[in-house]
Structure 1
């Protein structure tokens, strides 16, 4: 592999001049010398060391992304949108998967610091992640979920509680007399917000429809199709199974669709289903899945913009609009 010294020798210049040519400075190079250097580089198939150039400038033009499970289509779509946005700013996106393991998330954080990324986009497994190491190294962090403002990092998200309320209200508007919610495991902030929205929709419905009883139940499951399918298969086999289920992720909703099939239930005639995230796959489920769609592209573009144009000590906390995408799985007419 050719080096800058090889190019300099062939072009009859110094290695410093080669550096000036490929870094556009800091000193000027005459047009004739620049042409000799570029011709020598082409002849030798010379590729400048991008990392070395970046480190000398104090920037690596790279952004780290940590997600809980890259196999989840939502995070796959998010990573793709973030990569497109990063490339538009001439940045490289480095993707790390914590695989649901808190220790692995911590290791990824340390690894990104070691690689001197210019910023980190984090979907954490923790409600209150330890971001002190990033603060010490002056590496900006942006999270894609609600976070305590005391952390001093930016956050971009939707209003999960309002979205859960709208999804549940939509099922109630169909007239279903029993509704289940398939939530995540544990008492995470996200699980609590979904529950709060679910309960708020039920309370509002009760106020507006006195004397009308709606049976409601929540059950937890890991955020995966397989886990949701196992929980829902048993749930739907019970004599008092719910008439409709709100799943707090599309992945869980796909598991519920499978469970309905196993139990010989028709969707939506016997069981109505609403998901959450708005992944591309929801349009091609059987039947197509009604879902709360997050604006992945808008969030991704804004996230990269904030990190590339980072302003120290000026965190932002922005809520994005979501969309209830109505399809057949909830009982709506096919569009």
Structure 2
């Protein structure tokens, strides 16, 4: 009878740590000396083969690709997934779909599971940073980021910059320079192509539109992964930025509602709000309704993402539309093409669609 070979999950359970920690230790990533020693001892005891983390991965790959998104119930990520699936279907490639919950540890565990299964290509809306993706890339995984770049562990609101990507990441550096983002001091040794929307142009257009209507106290409601959007907002409103009008929620709908409601109640002087995504836009609509704020008479709303329900609101929402399905399709094309030559990153256009949720301020 054939003896079952130990897996990365077996090592993690026996060592009392997460799969992500085992992945980091065996790929030479950061870990405490005690954790490193325990993981290596358990791996040796179980006769775990490091090849399960990707050695000779390309020779034993099973085909297909992974797709990681933060929230399967988010309409935009549904559109992105549709694009990935359409492209993969045309190429006869299966797709393994995973939801990270915007949790870097959960994301790292999903990466480890894909490597175990021999799936060496993944499209990700990333939650973690180099701690997650460095070991995966080192193990031989082909990665394409979509919608956003990996987070900076020091802050959720500072956008990545060319210096973050290391001297070898010419395509991502070029993309971020084109997007006009400020430099940042931290370096991340990731050399990964990405498919992003032109957040800067979209936010800037929305703020200019609101300013043209007479609004001066404009708020921004953001969430995980919105670093580039809040940077664009701060740039568009200009110095000095009233930081009391820049508010962040976590990824949950409850947190989004609490943030929107708190913003409206703490700053009754605001006249307009730009939300960084459709979950936050939904929260802003609900909070305004609960607080008897009339849209657009009392407060004007602009939402990033055009989703079907935006037109069904009363009044219909003005939105910054980004091409979610196209983003997914292009990301799938990049990840499937990566074997022949290194693909360049892609910046897709956004569009301000004016509806009834914004009005003049006198």
Per-residue CA distance 1:257-283 (angstroms, 9 max, x = gap): 011101111111111111112223322
Question: Per-residue deviation at 1:64?
Answer: 0.3
Per-residue CA distance 1:162-181 (angstroms, 9 max, x = gap): 32222222211211232111
Instruction: Confirm whether residue 179 of structure 1 aligns to residue 218 of structure 2.
Output: yes
Q: Judge conservation of contact 1:72–1:224 (CA < 8 Å) in 2.
A: no
Between 1 and 2, higher relative CO (CA 8 Å, sep ≥ 6) is seen in 2
CA distance, structure 1, for counterparts of residue 200 and residue 340 of structure 2 = 30
Instruction: Confirm whether residue 95 of structure 1 aligns to residue 88 of structure 2.
Output: no
Instruction: Confirm whether residue 146 of structure 1 aligns to residue 146 of structure 2.
Output: no
Q: Which residue of 2 aligns with 1:327?
A: 355
Aligned residue pairs, count: 267
Instruction: Confirm whether residue 203 of structure 1 aligns to residue 238 of structure 2.
Output: yes
Secondary structure of 1:157's partner? strand
Q: Which residue of 2 aligns with 1:156?
A: 195
Secondary structure of 1:65's partner? strand
Q: Which residue of 1 aligns with 2:204?
A: 165
The change in CA–CA distance for 1:170 and 1:66 in structure 2 (over 3 A counts) is: same
Q: Judge conservation of contact 2:120–2:140 (CA < 8 Å) in 1.
A: no
Q: Judge conservation of contact 1:177–1:215 (CA < 8 Å) in 2.
A: no
CA distance, structure 1, for counterparts of residue 58 and residue 190 of structure 2 = 30
Instruction: Confirm whether residue 231 of structure 1 aligns to residue 259 of structure 2.
Output: yes
Q: Which residue of 2 aligns with 1:78?
A: 80
Q: Which residue of 2 aligns with 1:253?
A: 281
Structure 2 counterparts to residues 6-155 of structure 1, below 5 A? 59-128=61-130, 130-144=132-146, 145-146=148-149, 148=165, 149=169, 150-155=189-194
Q: Judge conservation of contact 1:67–1:123 (CA < 8 Å) in 2.
A: yes
Q: Judge conservation of contact 1:225–1:251 (CA < 8 Å) in 2.
A: yes
CA distance, structure 2, for counterparts of residue 230 and residue 242 of structure 1 = 17
Q: What runs of 5+ residues in structure 1 fail to find an aligned partner?
A: 1-54, 207-212
The change in CA–CA distance for 1:239 and 1:132 in structure 2 (over 3 A counts) is: closer
The change in CA–CA distance for 1:239 and 1:250 in structure 2 (over 3 A counts) is: closer
TM-score, normalised on structure 1? 0.72
The change in CA–CA distance for 1:100 and 1:196 in structure 2 (over 3 A counts) is: closer
CA distance, structure 2, for counterparts of residue 83 and residue 56 of structure 1 = 22
Once superposed, what is the RMSD of the aligned Cα atoms? 2.8
The change in CA–CA distance for 1:246 and 1:140 in structure 2 (over 3 A counts) is: same
The change in CA–CA distance for 1:316 and 1:179 in structure 2 (over 3 A counts) is: same
The change in CA–CA distance for 1:226 and 1:84 in structure 2 (over 3 A counts) is: same
Q: Judge conservation of contact 2:213–2:359 (CA < 8 Å) in 1.
A: yes
Q: Judge conservation of contact 2:80–2:329 (CA < 8 Å) in 1.
A: no
Larger radius of gyration: 1
CA distance, structure 2, for counterparts of residue 130 and residue 223 of structure 1 = 19
Q: Judge conservation of contact 2:103–2:128 (CA < 8 Å) in 1.
A: no
Question: Per-residue deviation at 1:115?
Answer: 1.4
The change in CA–CA distance for 1:129 and 1:316 in structure 2 (over 3 A counts) is: farther
Farther off after superposition, 284-293 or 86-95: 284-293
Q: What runs of 5+ residues in structure 2 fail to find an aligned partner?
A: 1-56, 151-164, 170-188
Per-residue CA distance 1:183-207 (angstroms, 9 max, x = gap): 226xx6x32x223222222239x9x
